[in-house]
């Protein structure tokens, strides 16, 4: 999860799905044009942080049973420590740049999602005011707010 069916193929992994959607509809502007080597790296950097680091930490907080056959307490505890370090890293960059790439992009959506679910699973968001502000600014965007509201309703219907 997630998985996206396109052209008869099943695409998994968020960075692959989002890169596919961007290539399909570049005019939507979910990512900027990759016109310098640096922007290519910065996009990949944001995707890797969210997909490879933050998302698994969020799972450790919200669904620790996936990581152990034993007591979930130590998994949650370690996930809290890792969340403090990795969200702290993201918060420092957001504090400097406002959005992950300087301008709004789909990477901000993924980062807000990770932060929101982590906080919902017991991470202390108040310790990261830059990410709280990031989420608040994202919610000022009409399209994002509508999708976020739908996602909240879906999560509630699943008892999450
Ligand atoms: N690196 C993955 C992370 C996705 C992920 O962790 N998804 C969760 C659900 S939100 C999941 O399926 N975890 C596997 C599991 O709990 O068995 C991506 O980019 O798509």
In this prediction, residue 112 carries a pLDDT of: 97
Pocket test for ligand 1, best of 1, 51, 52 (most atoms within 8 A of CB): 1
Is pLDDT larger for residue 84 or for residue 159?
84
Per-residue pLDDT band at 94 (split at 50, 70, 90) = very high
Cα 36 to ligand 1 centroid, rounded to whole Å: 30
Q: Is the predicted pLDDT of residue 101 greater than 90, yes or no?
A: yes
> Across-strand partners of 11?
4
**Lowest mean pLDDT segment, chosen from 1-5, 18-22, 99-103:** 1-5
Shortest-distance Cα residue to atom 16 of ligand 1: 66
What structural domains and CATH numbers belong to the chain? 32-157 (1.20.1050.10)
Residues in the ligand 1 pocket, defined by CB under 6 Å:
1-2, 13-14, 51, 55, 59, 63, 66
Mean pLDDT of 67-91: 97
Q: What is the pLDDT of residue 150?
A: 94
Say if residue 160's pLDDT is above 90: no
* CA-proximal residue: ligand 1, atom 5 (nearest): 1
Pick from 15, 54, 59 the residue to mutate for probing ligand 1's pocket: most ligand atoms within 8 Å of its CB. Answer: 59
How sure is the predictor about 1, in pLDDT bands with cuts at 50, 70 and 90? confident
> Which of 41, 33, 34, 31 shows the shortest CA–CA distance to 110?
31
Which of helix, strand or coil describes residue 73?
Answer: helix
User: Residue 159: which residues within 8 A CB-CB, separation 6 or more?
Assistant: none
At 126 the pLDDT is 95
């Amino acid at each position: 999860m997630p998985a996206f069916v396109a052209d008869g193929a099943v695409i998994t992994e968020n960075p692959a799905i989002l890169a596919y959607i961007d290539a399909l509809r570049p005019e939507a502007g979910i990512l900027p044009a990759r016109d310098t080597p640096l922007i290519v790296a910065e996009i990949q950097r944001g995707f890797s942080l969210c997909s490879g680091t933050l998302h698994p930490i969020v799972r450790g907080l919200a669904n620790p049973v996936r990581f152990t056959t034993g007591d979930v307490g130590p998994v949650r505890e370690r996930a809290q420590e890792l969340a403090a370090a990795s969200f702290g890293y993201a918060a420092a960059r957001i504090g400097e740049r406002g959005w992950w790439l300087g301008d709004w992009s789909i990477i901000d959506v993924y980062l807000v999602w990770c932060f929101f679910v982590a906080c919902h699973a017991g991470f202390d968001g108040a310790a990261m005011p830059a990410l709280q502000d990031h989420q608040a600014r994202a919610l000022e965007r009409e399209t994002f707010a509508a999708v976020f509201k739908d996602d909240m309703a879906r999560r509630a219907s699943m008892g999450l």
